[in-house]
Amino acid sequence: MVIAYWEIGEQIYKACGENDRAEYGKNLLKYLSDRLTAEFGKGFDESNLRRMRQFYMTYPIRDTLCHELSWSHYRILMKIADKSICKCMSTTIQES
């Protein structure tokens, strides 16, 4: 699911950039949320779609993602402001 969330985040970023505050961005997130929820069930509300976009913006190179980390791990890492600490924590998790 991590890769799927990254790809969704990439598509949202390409469609509306970093800012969803513009009318187009708000409408796009609402539309995507409705469609994805109807097709795949819960987990695709607007706030989660924003997190997916943030995920893509934080880790723009897909090959740098660690397959041992879950979506929950990445959500925690994205909250840490100091990216050097994130990298250290990510490496530690991979090694354990």
pLDDT over threshold 70, residue 25 = no
pLDDT confidence band for 67 (50 / 70 / 90): confident
Residue 3 token pair? 């890769």
Q: Is 79 helix (H, G, I), strand (E, B) or coil?
A: coil
Tell me 17's DSSP state.
T
| Cα dihedral value 75, 81, 82, 84, nearest 10 | 30
pLDDT over threshold 90, residue 28 = no
- Using CA atoms, how far residue 83 sits from 25, 61, 68, 86, in Å, is 27, 15, 19, 5
